[in-house]
Structure 1
Amino acid sequence: MNRYIDPSPANFQAFKDLPRDRPIAMLNLLLFREQADYPAGHEHAGKGWSGRRAYEEYGKTSGPIFQRMGGTIMWRGTYETVVTGPDAMEWHDGFIAQYPAAGAFFEMITDPEYKLAVVNRTAALLDSRLVRFAPGEGGDAFG
C-alpha cells in the first residue's frame, strides 16, 4: 500500500500550473501514526507523543499562519466507514480548508514559521490525501 505525506513532484507541478488568483478548497484526509516519528534531535523527539498529539501541535503552530493567509476550516469530521471505495481505506480525521486564493496556500507553505511547524505534520501522519477543489455553489440537489 502506498503512503502519501508530501506531494510528488508531478502532482505539485500540476497544482502550481492551476490559477493562483481564485479561491480553493482543500480536502484533507488524515491517518495518524500510533507514535509520532520526529527526526533525531528535534525538540519533540522522545516525548512519546502519539501521531494525533503531534498533529495537534502542527495545528497549534501552523494555525496562526493559516489564519493570517485568510484560511478557514469549512468542515471537519471523524472517519466512520467507507461506503464506496476500497475496503482497506481508513482515515482518522478529515477536513476541508478554504483559502481566498491558491496564492495564499503557496505563501503559507513558503513561510519560514510554517516550514518549522510542518515537521509536526510529517511526524504525525502515516498517510494522507490533500485534494484541491474549486469551490462551487451549495444547494439541495446533487447535480
Structure 2
Amino acid sequence: MTETYVDPSPLNFQSFKDLPRDTPIHMLNLLLYRDVAEYPHGHDHAGKGWSGRRAYEEYGKTSGPIFRKAGGRIVWRGRFETMVTGPEVRAWHDGFIAQYPNAGAFFAMIKDPEYQKAVVNRTAALVDSRLIRFAPGEAGEGFG
C-alpha cells in the first residue's frame, strides 16, 4: 500500500514555519479524492453520501472567502492526465498552485475560526494529497 498524506506532519509543518514569513509563496496542491467523503460522526454532512470531489467543492466554497481575504489567489489549475516521471501507482485527480502574499497570510488563513470549520471538508474529501511550498520564480521560455 502506498503511504498517504492529508495533513502535515509536525516535522514538515515546523520546516514550513522556519522559512521566511514575509516573502511571497506558491503552494502546489495535488489532490486525490475519496470515492465517498468521510466526515466525522455527527457532522452536518455525515451520511449525505457525498463524493470526495463534492466534499472538496464544499471546502472551496466555505474556505474561499477566507483565502481571498488573506490575499490568496489561484495562479494555475489543472486536471491530472498521466504520470511521466514518478511512481506509476500514484495518480492525482486535480492540482493547482495557490499564491499567497507571504507565509503570514497563509497562517492567518489557517488560524481563522471559519477556516477551521471549513477544513473538515478537505479532510473528509481527500484520501491523499501533497502541499508543497515554493518561492515564486520568473516564468520564461527556458528550463534554467
TM superposition score normalised by structure 2: 0.99
SS in 2 for 1:43: coil
Q: Deviations over 1:36-68 (max 9, x none)?
A: 000000000001100000000000000000000
Q: Deviations over 1:56-114 (max 9, x none)?
A: 00000000000000000000000000011111111000000000001100010000000
How far apart, CA to CA, are the structure 2 residues paired with 1:21 and 1:42?
36
Unaligned runs of 5+ in 1: none
Instruction: Report the counterpart of residue 53 of structure 1 in structure 2.
Output: 54
Instruction: Report the counterpart of residue 2 of structure 1 in structure 2.
Output: 3
AA at the equivalent of 1:80: E
Deviation above 6 Å: which 4+ runs of structure 1? Answer: none
Instruction: Report the counterpart of residue 90 of structure 2 in structure 1.
Output: 89
Instruction: Report the counterpart of residue 136 of structure 1 in structure 2.
Output: 137
Instruction: Report the counterpart of residue 26 of structure 2 in structure 1.
Output: 25
AA at the equivalent of 2:139: G
AA at the equivalent of 1:76: R
Q: How many residues align?
A: 143
Percent identity of equivalent pairs: 75
AA at the equivalent of 1:115: Q
SS in 2 for 1:16: helix
Instruction: Report the counterpart of residue 114 of structure 1 in structure 2.
Output: 115
How far apart, CA to CA, are the structure 2 residues paired with 1:136 and 1:40?
43
How far apart, CA to CA, are the structure 1 residues paired with 2:90 and 2:37?
21
C-alpha RMSD of the superposition: 0.4
TM superposition score normalised by structure 1: 0.99
